[in-house]
Amino acid sequence: MAVQQFKAESKKLLDLMIHSIYTHKEIFLRELISNASDALDKLYFKSLTDTSISLKKEDYKIHLSIDKDLRTITISDNGIGMTEQELENNLGTIAKSGSLDFKKENTGDDIDIIGQFGVGFYSAFMVASHVTVITRPYGSEQAYKWESSGAEGYTITPCQKDSFGTDIILVVKENADEENYDEFLDQYRLVSIVKKYSDYIRYPITMYQEHSRKKEGSEDEYETYTELETLNSMIPLWKRDKKDVSDEEYNNFYKEKFMDFSDPARIISSKTEGSATYNALLFVPGRAPFNYYTRDYEKGLQLYASGVLIMDKCADLLPDYFSFVKGLVDSQDLSLNISREMLQHDNQLKLIRTTLERKIKNELLSMLRNDREKYDEFFKNFGLQLKAGCYEGYGINKDNLKDLLLFHSAKQNKLVTLAEYAESMPKTETTEQKYIYYAAGSSVEQLSKLPATERVLDKGYDILYLTDDIDEFALQVLREYDGKEFRNISSGEDLGLETEQEKEEAKAQNEQNKDLFAAMKSALGDKVSEVRLSTRLKNHPVCITSEGALSIEMEKVLNSMPNAEKVQSKKILEVNGTHPIFEVLQTLEKDGKTEKLGDYANVLYNQALLIEGLPVEDPVAYAQAICSIMAEKA
């Protein structure tokens, strides 16, 4: 009997399988079971029109067996089977585009792809040293045997088989140095592989299971017995009607599948038909995974093609800002052998992603509206991600996300949405609020003590306290909410707090004290770009504000990043004209005590830095300056 060579392309894929160092070799079983399931499907469809097929739906089966002595695993089905020609065509060549693509892509060490896509029948060679396929096509008496030990080629010979269908017999490789193949001869291991990957195959996957029991009438004698068991549940949870599944079932499913100790915060189960037909079962975790905010975290949903897992973490199904969502999508429109490359361009997948995104958002909004406590908790876990999502890509997703954000309200001392902030703004003509105010710093406590805070709150306006590094960047990208611009209360920009008259008065006073401010500016040099009278201070003597897009807090954030180029915000020293110190400064200037005025300016500047949470530039000089002023008074 002539040994036939594999076609060139097939040989390459085969080589890859034989020499695979892939750690999840277990997926061979998924592949063979899914082929068997396809063969059953084909016969079933045929039976719909061919009345000579008397098989009932429940007669279709996949059966597994192990023979430890012979080191074999057998996967049998009573499906459509293959003719001699089909054997030749199907198992001697790779005809399908998915695998061809796979081969093309797999030039590097991209071996991981094996775990993500159907690589088909040849994956058997990851665990088997020899593979035999005995098959008899439905409607024919003649069976054929295909045999191969891999690289040398294959043979096809006629043989006997009692009934139609296919048996695939793998001779499991011997254990090698670091490779354990014996595990695949263990019944429990096989059962767990079936449960993991093929639980939802729509046909029963049966196997005789060995159990042990006490011998009848005996106290301590045991006997083993075997029992035919169905290993798979056949009906996926996500295909069941929402109302028939208890929360507990969903919770357990989530915890088991996604390895979490806590129940999910939210369950999203949906069935979509039409341009994309799929079921989705999604979960918002109850807490952030320990590695969530690290590079190690991998986003993605499990992707099933008609009940068969084809990808464990399909990243393309989720936008980054919803990367915390876990779950799965089961699509009727995808082929099992679709490659990663093709998947990325798959329109079906894009459609699914868009609808899922909308579903997740709506679900979060509904949680926000109807279960605020839970939402606050959710936001503590994943709010940072949403805010980062707002900022990313220059804000392309900001409109999608802005209503999901929460910030700490100074007035209400709790987290509020931007809409809630906007709603609570004073609306009468005289009190009309021009901006949405915020302050950025390290803690609510620190921010509540900022010099500028007092004045804004006194006016009856609320302030959002931003304490996460990303916050101010996110708001800058948002720019406005409900037509109101965001304003940092520590920025030198107009805060819209004064009346026209007050503004005029301030201008006149600045003019009157022109020389004083010039002298102070000259003593401070480049540290500040201007010294001027403040309109934002009530009780504090001085404060520092910034000019331009870069705020003082942003300067801190950016400079704290590793390897960052140092940036500096443009600072303005503002002096409170109603504070007693102001008179002292005026007197010093009038009396021509320039040097002393310079010392005072420096001390005040450093005080303002301290209040802002910025480091004093020269602590020794600052301490000495204060000391000399104190000594003088005594």
By the rule CB under 6 A, 198 interacts with ligand ADP = no
Q: Which is nearer to ligand ADP, 120 or 389 (CB)?
A: 120
Q: Contact at 8 Å (CB) between 521 and 530?
A: yes
By the rule CB under 6 A, 79 interacts with ligand ADP = yes
Question: Which residues share a beta bridge with 147?
Answer: 132, 155
Residue among 111, 76, 103, 101 nearest 6 (CA): 103
Q: Which is nearer to ligand ADP, 120 or 598 (CB)?
A: 120
By the rule CB under 6 A, 82 interacts with ligand ADP = yes
Residue among 142, 166, 202 nearest 80 (CA): 166
Query: Residue 511: helix, strand or coil by DSSP?
Result: helix
Count of residues that bind ligand ADP according to CB under 6 A: 18
By the rule CB under 6 A, 120 interacts with ligand ADP = yes
Q: Which is nearer to ligand ADP, 337 or 607 (CB)?
A: 337
Of these, 29, 39, 127, 585, which contacts ligand ADP (CB under 6 A)? Answer: 39
| Residue 525 dihedral angles phi and psi, to the nearest 5° | 60, -135
By the rule CB under 6 A, 6 interacts with ligand ADP = no
Of these, 20, 78, 106, 166, which contacts ligand ADP (CB under 6 A)? Answer: 166
Q: Which is nearer to ligand ADP, 91 or 523 (CB)?
A: 91
Question: Which residues share a beta bridge with 415?
Answer: 408
Residue 105 beta carbon to ligand ADP: minimum distance, rounded to whole angstroms: 16
By the rule CB under 6 A, 307 interacts with ligand ADP = no
Burial of 407 (0-12, 13-18, 19+ CB in 10 A): buried
Helices 347-370 and 372-395 pack at an angle, to 10 degrees, of 140
Of these, 6, 30, 43, 77, which contacts ligand ADP (CB under 6 A)? Answer: 77
Q: Which is nearer to ligand ADP, 122 or 250 (CB)?
A: 122
Question: What residue is closest to ligand ADP based on CB?
Answer: 120
Q: Which is nearer to ligand ADP, 157 or 512 (CB)?
A: 157
Q: Which is nearer to ligand ADP, 36 or 474 (CB)?
A: 36
Residue among 540, 554, 556 nearest 604 (CA): 540
Residue 27 beta carbon to ligand ADP: minimum distance, rounded to whole angstroms: 12
By the rule CB under 6 A, 339 interacts with ligand ADP = no
Tokens of 290: 């320990």
Q: Contact at 8 Å (CB) between 151 and 10?
A: no
Stretch that binds ligand ADP, among 76-84, 410-418, 529-537, 611-619 (CB under 6 A): 76-84
Question: Which residues share a beta bridge with 279?
Answer: 271, 330
Tokens of 564: 């960052």
The string over 548-581, giving b where at least 16 C-beta atoms fall within 10 Å of a residue's C-beta and e elsewhere, is eebbbbbbbbbeeeeeeeeeebbbbbbbbbebee
Q: Which is nearer to ligand ADP, 165 or 577 (CB)?
A: 165
| DSSP state letter for 564 | P
By the rule CB under 6 A, 118 interacts with ligand ADP = yes
Could you identify the residue written with the tokens 């003649």? 142
Q: Which is nearer to ligand ADP, 6 or 437 (CB)?
A: 6
Report the alpha-carbon distance of residue 401 to residue 379 in Å, rounded: 13
List, in sequence order, the alpha helices (H) in 290-417.
Answer: 340-344, 347-370, 372-395, 398-401
Rg (C-alpha) for the chain, rounded Å, is 36
Residue 272 beta carbon to ligand ADP: minimum distance, rounded to whole angstroms: 26
By the rule CB under 6 A, 121 interacts with ligand ADP = yes
Of these, 17, 33, 36, 317, which contacts ligand ADP (CB under 6 A)? Answer: 36
Query: Residue 87: helix, strand or coil by DSSP?
Result: helix
Stretch that binds ligand ADP, among 118-126, 142-150, 244-252, 620-628 (CB under 6 A): 118-126
Stretch that binds ligand ADP, among 32-40, 275-283, 343-351, 366-374 (CB under 6 A): 32-40
Stretch that binds ligand ADP, among 31-39, 241-249, 468-476, 609-617 (CB under 6 A): 31-39
Q: Which is nearer to ligand ADP, 138 or 461 (CB)?
A: 138
Q: Which is nearer to ligand ADP, 169 or 456 (CB)?
A: 169
Report the alpha-carbon distance of residue 623 to residue 193 in Å, rounded: 71
By the rule CB under 6 A, 90 interacts with ligand ADP = yes
Q: Contact at 8 Å (CB) between 198 and 33?
A: yes
Length of the chain: 634
Question: Which residues share a beta bridge with 76?
Answer: 63, 167
Of these, 198, 269, 337, 551, which contacts ligand ADP (CB under 6 A)? Answer: 337
The string over 510-543, giving b where at least 16 C-beta atoms fall within 10 Å of a residue's C-beta and e elsewhere, is eeebeebbebbbebbeebbbbbbbbbbbbebbbb
Q: Which is nearer to ligand ADP, 149 or 355 (CB)?
A: 149
Residue 558 beta carbon to ligand ADP: minimum distance, rounded to whole angstroms: 52
- Give the footprint of ligand ADP on this chain (CB under 6 A): 31, 35-36, 39, 77, 79-82, 90-91, 96, 118, 120-121, 166, 336-337
